[in-house]
Structure 1
Amino acid sequence: MRSGVLIAVAAMVFVVALANYAVQFPLNDWLTWGAFTYPVAFLITDLSNRAFGPARARRVVYAGFVLAVALSIWLATPRIAVASGVAFLATQLWDIAIFNRLRHQDWWRAPLASSVLASALDTAIFFSVAFAGTGLPWTTWAIGDYAVKLGVAAVMLIPFGALRLWIRPWTGQQPTGQQPAGQQQS
């Protein structure tokens, strides 16, 4: 299981750093390249939540947050790194909560609902912190970005649906030797 968490963290860092680099390159007044890469972070979070449960999924988010922000300062700008970090931490944790709440419904509801809702918040936080007051067309970038995130959320159901057949779902049971937070060993 530890290797699975490390793979998830590495994938998260790669996707977030790539998105923070790509957001610096607008396609037009409505879209940046980051719109196509960042939504994959929600797939990674949802797969982590399915496989490891919410506590370990949060660990993937925390580790991804620290490493991706540090890397983004170098690949992008400090302002983009801070905007990304604030948006990432808030929205990925919200994604985990939504996914976990819906995890026992039809297989596609949890990843779709959590990605769509968290993407809306992510877009609002990231673009306002990263670009407000810069003179850049950040509001139209945000609209275009969110539209792409909606499309990518739908498309990411394909790999989620395929991978969920290989990933054993978390049952709520702690691995041997570990206790949930706040519970004493009996």
Structure 2
Amino acid sequence: MTRTYLPGILAMAAIVVASNILVQFLFGQWLTWGAFTYPLAFLVTDIMNRVYGASAARRVVMVGFVVGLVCSLIGTQIMGEFGPLVTLRIAAGSGVAFLVAQLIDVSVFAALRGGKWWRAPLVSTLVGSSIDTALFFSIAFAGSLSFIHPATDVSWAAETLPLLGVGPMAPLWVSLAIADWSVKLSIALIALIPFRIITARLTRTA
């Protein structure tokens, strides 16, 4: 890796670390504060992809993946009120979701990079964010995947409640996933502004 990629590497590492910390703090009934920082990882990946290419973006993704693994490993060793702050299922879900979603984001962006400036970052982030949410919440909390780590108690996530408090009955983790996904989609739209500004500035100075 070259010094050229260092800002992207540091930004990705900071986002992953911050998200792993902030996910411990609730925001309302369905979200944590980490839900608002984690989607910025897609912004970093897309900026690197636009300015330096898919190879550079994948390198930054791998750094984020390694940092995330370290954070999860540390979290499994810290005991909270109800056990480890990070269970093995959450660690597995987080790692798999991040790596798969980010790499798909890179591929989709690369395929669309020749179109209008907003198409590649918007579509790639929407696709990546959707996959990220589906993989993480399913692996971490779905009862049908309890074989991943049978010792992890996720019965609380399977509690049946009105969807987001107002809809049809569904497991709690589904409401959490939909709320998280909604934030990701909202930030994907908002992030088009800094994406445009930052990439325009970097491509002028490159």
Q: Report 1:71-86 matches (<5 A).
A: 71-75=71-75, 76-79=85-88, 80-86=90-96
Partners of 1:36 and 1:7 lie apart in 2 by 21
Report deviation, 1:11: 1.2
Report deviation, 1:112: 0.6
Deviations 1:92-120 (A, max 9, x none): 00000010111111111110111111100
Partners of 1:122 and 1:95 lie apart in 2 by 10
2:63 maps to: 63
Partners of 2:110 and 2:50 lie apart in 1 by 8
> Which amino acid in 2 is paired with 1:36?
F
Partners of 1:107 and 1:13 lie apart in 2 by 26
How many residue pairs get matched?
169
When residues 62 and 82 of structure 1 are mapped into structure 2, their CA distance, relative to the original with a 3 A threshold, is same
> Which amino acid in 1 is paired with 2:35?
A
1:118 maps to: 128
1:93 maps to: 103
Of 193, 203, 206 in structure 2, the residue corresponding to residue 158 of structure 1 is 193
Partners of 2:72 and 2:7 lie apart in 1 by 19
1:14 aligns with 2:14: yes
Report deviation, 1:161: 0.7
2:202 counterpart SS class: coil
Partners of 2:20 and 2:3 lie apart in 1 by 26
Report deviation, 1:78: 4.6
Root-mean-square deviation over aligned CA pairs: 1.8
1:166 counterpart SS class: helix
Report deviation, 1:29: 3.4
Equivalent pair of 2:96/2:136 in contact (CA under 8 Å): yes
1:138 maps to: 173
1:128 maps to: 138
> Which amino acid in 2 is paired with 1:117?
V
The structure whose RCO (Cα within 8 Å, separation 6+) is larger is 1
Report deviation, 1:82: 2.4
> Which amino acid in 1 is paired with 2:118?
W
Report percent identity of matched pairs. Answer: 47
> Which amino acid in 1 is paired with 2:86?
T
When residues 143 and 16 of structure 1 are mapped into structure 2, their CA distance, relative to the original with a 3 A threshold, is same
Deviations 1:128-154 (A, max 9, x none): 222334113321111001111111000
2:115 maps to: 105
Deviates more, 1:78-87 or 1:119-128: 78-87
Equivalent pair of 1:49/1:99 in contact (CA under 8 Å): yes
Deviations 1:11-36 (A, max 9, x none): 11211222222223332332222210
When residues 7 and 68 of structure 1 are mapped into structure 2, their CA distance, relative to the original with a 3 A threshold, is farther
Per the normalisation by structure 2, the TM-score is 0.76
Q: Report 1:175-186 matches (<5 A).
A: none
What residue ranges of structure 1 are gaps of 5+ in the alignment? 170-186
1:51 maps to: 51
1:168 aligns with 2:170: no
Partners of 1:48 and 1:72 lie apart in 2 by 25
